[in-house]
Structure 1
Amino acid sequence: MDHLNRLLKRAPAWPLYMLCAAHVFWLFYLGLTGGLGVEPIKALEHAYGEAGLKLLVVTLAVTPLRRFSGVNLLKFRRALGLCSFFYIAGHLSVWLVLDVQQVGQIWADIVKRPYITVGMAGFALLLPLALTSNNASIRRMGAASWRKLHKLTYLAAILGAVHYVMLVKGFQIEPIVYLAVILGLIGSRFIERQRKIA
């Protein structure tokens, strides 16, 4: 395990951003060229949203993974979180620009459709986290305040999973699994904290 962690420590985080950008553009290219099926806008919207949710899960898993297995991915957590935000921003952009297109209809959907309301709330929580995911913000805010702010990740992830559960038609196991995994990862943090207090 120590050998693996030494290798991970030497590995740079920037390739994650490159892979994320390449995948974002690749999915968009597939949508333009018919590679996403007969409803490319809906498929692209879903692909971006699910990729963002998956990366949120991976981001939340970094701390429990280190605690329970010893694998230390902390240096990659910021990149994972930002890549998750980029996908979710892409998901929102496709909905706004390519799907709905009408400004009045956008606001009506946010107000009248609960799953969109929940999704927008999750994105609103992620926005300040993305904007402060840099060393300058940590210095300006102070480490303690910065950590408190970034605990909003927990609520944003829950809202994202609930958005997915509400979005699908009928009973589907996949979005429920996402929600259960996210709740489990967040719950493990509180259990560990209570154990330390006790």
Structure 2
Amino acid sequence: MRYLPWRLSVFIAACVAPVMWLYKAWIFDLGPDPGKALVDLFGLGTLVLLLITLSLTPLQRISGWAGWVIVRRQLGLWCFTYATLHLLGYGFFILGFDWAQLGVELVKRPYIIVGSIAFLCLLALAVTSNRYSQRRLGARWKKLHRLAYLILGLGLLHMLWIVRADLKEWAIYAAVGGLLLFVRVPVIAMRLPRMPRKKARASVES
């Protein structure tokens, strides 16, 4: 119960953000193709949530506060949810659910293949995010969930391929992602400043 407000805040924020995007699309002009703009927003939301999720463990190690990682699994599942909305939006707004056109799109736009691989990896993490899977997989569970690093690389490549004409925004996300991967290197992680770990009455989710 101690961390219920945190979980509730994450739930509300993740639910409200798409509604705000839809409201913005209705009130303001998102260009000649608002459907594509929404697809791009959900894709960007997926990347941002992934970066936030990957930042929680380093923050916990530095601050010693268990609250950072209490919502890690929840954020990871929301990341998958946004990726699913991104994929469904692509199917509806771009393809019009004409899956015969998908083969043409894959040839013309290889970044779709990269995004699809990232989505399948996210699906694997979402399906195995429960405690039952942790118990069944044992030590292999952590190895599987290191796919998050691969997903980050694929996500950044997917975005780079799309916005290659304007790299300023992409460079910011890439820099943040690179920093998060850098602090995960064992030699660097051991040298991070650490505050005394504060006791948590609630169990920390992996």
Q: TM-score band (shorter)?
A: 0.7 to 0.9
- Once the 2 structures are TM-superposed, how far is the Cα of residue 22 of structure 1 from its aligned partner? 3.0
- Once the 2 structures are TM-superposed, how far is the Cα of residue 15 of structure 1 from its aligned partner? 3.9
Matched, 1:106 2:99: no
Q: What pairs up with 1:118-133 in 2 under 5 angstroms?
A: 118-133=114-129
Per-residue CA distance 1:32-53 (angstroms, 9 max, x = gap): x354523211210111111111
Per-residue CA distance 1:130-170 (angstroms, 9 max, x = gap): 1111122222322x121111110110011101111111141
- For residue 141 of structure 2, what is the aligned residue in structure 1? 146
Give distance in 2, aligned partners of 1:194 and 1:30.
Answer: 41
For CA contacts below 8 A with separation 6 or more, give which structure has more relative contact order: 2
- For residue 48 of structure 1, what is the aligned residue in structure 2? 42
- For residue 4 of structure 1, what is the aligned residue in structure 2? none
Give distance in 1, aligned partners of 2:29 and 2:15.
Answer: 18
- For residue 152 of structure 2, what is the aligned residue in structure 1? 157
- Once the 2 structures are TM-superposed, how far is the Cα of residue 18 of structure 1 from its aligned partner? 3.5
- For residue 186 of structure 1, what is the aligned residue in structure 2? 181
- Once the 2 structures are TM-superposed, how far is the Cα of residue 62 of structure 1 from its aligned partner? 0.7
Where does structure 2 lack aligned partners over 5 or more consecutive residues? 192-206
Moved over 6 A (4+): none
Matched, 1:74 2:66: no
The Cα RMSD (Å) is: 2.4
Structure 1 residues 14, 137: CA separation in 2 closer, same or farther (over 3 Å shift)? farther
The count of corresponding residues between Structure 1 and Structure 2 is 188
Give distance in 2, aligned partners of 1:109 and 1:8.
Answer: 48
TM-score norm. by structure 2 comes to 0.80
Structure 1 residues 78, 177: CA separation in 2 closer, same or farther (over 3 Å shift)? same
Give distance in 1, aligned partners of 2:65 and 2:55.
Answer: 11
Secondary structure at the aligned position of 1:189 is classed as: coil
Structure 1 residues 137, 171: CA separation in 2 closer, same or farther (over 3 Å shift)? same
Where does structure 1 lack aligned partners over 5 or more consecutive residues? 1-6
Q: Name the structure where helix makes up a greater proportion of residues.
A: 1
TM-score norm. by structure 1 comes to 0.83
Give distance in 2, aligned partners of 1:65 and 1:23.
Answer: 24
Give distance in 1, aligned partners of 2:34 and 2:54.
Answer: 30
